Amino acid sequence: MSFPYKHVLVIGATSGIGRAMADRLVQAGVKVTAVGRRKDRLDEFVQKHGEQMASAVPFDISVQENIPKFAAEIIDSYPDVDCLFLNAGIQLPFELDDRGQFDLEPFNKQMNVNYSSLVALTHAFLPFLIEKKSPTSIIFTGSNVAIVPAAAMPAYSASKAALNVFTLSLRDQLQNSNVAVIEILPPAVQTEIHLYMGEEICRKLGMPLDTFADLAFKGLIAGQDQIVIGSIGPAERFNAIVDQRRTAFEDLADVMRAQQK
């Protein structure tokens, strides 16, 4: 099988998983429009792959009020986009036991960038994707901590858990449309997201980025709509939680649909 989409808009493509997956898609013959805050890295991406296969648009998704205008401009400039790949994310730890004095601003920023902004992007692009006659998709990069939260990272874990719920719900509600909803659930991966721990730890923490990208792309090629890579704790236990949770979700969705008839 080959990757079924021809032009992917990759949000959060200047580093980490987003950049690695953007590179992998171009290498597979897929056109990529990369989006991120750092113009120098976007320029490097286009220079690396050439303008025939790569383009780039600087944009900060954390400013939600600008998202509708951004989406309209992308749709106008790149009407052949058929896949929205949402990767952007930030991660910071929090000590909550400080008598309510932990800093709300970075806490809420994580919730905004990792969850609310991705919902806003989905909202902005979904009508465009649904209207297309050919298959389209939205791919979300989640996290294993969406399933088993990390106590030291409450904001990051909560944002990824919220994104997982949104993904499950969106997939269920779009099941009769042309839009496939895909979620990738990574373990810790060796990327810049861990820089707050220091460069030495950052370089060694988690799965090598190339290994992750290989596994994620393999899952995309196989047509999986939920690509679980790695685990928190024993793989058998973790995967059972993922599977049982999804089954329970789908059972509840079926019951609620039946009640509405």
Q: Which residues are catalytic?
A: 156
> Is there a contact between 191 and 209 (Cβ–Cβ < 8 Å)?
yes
Q: How many Cβ atoms sit within 10 Å of the Cβ of residue 94? A: 18
> Is there a contact between 225 and 185 (Cβ–Cβ < 8 Å)?
no
CA–CA–CA angle 14, 17, 23 (5° rounding): 70
Return the CA Rg of the chain.
18
Backbone torsions φ then ψ of 4, nearest 5 degrees: -80, 0
CA–CA gap between residue 20 and residue 210 (Å, rounded): 7
> Is there a contact between 144 and 192 (Cβ–Cβ < 8 Å)?
no
Q: Which of 4, 6, 18 is nearest to 141 (CA)?
A: 18
Q: Which of 72, 232, 226 is nearest to 140 (CA)?
A: 226
3-state secondary structure of 214: helix
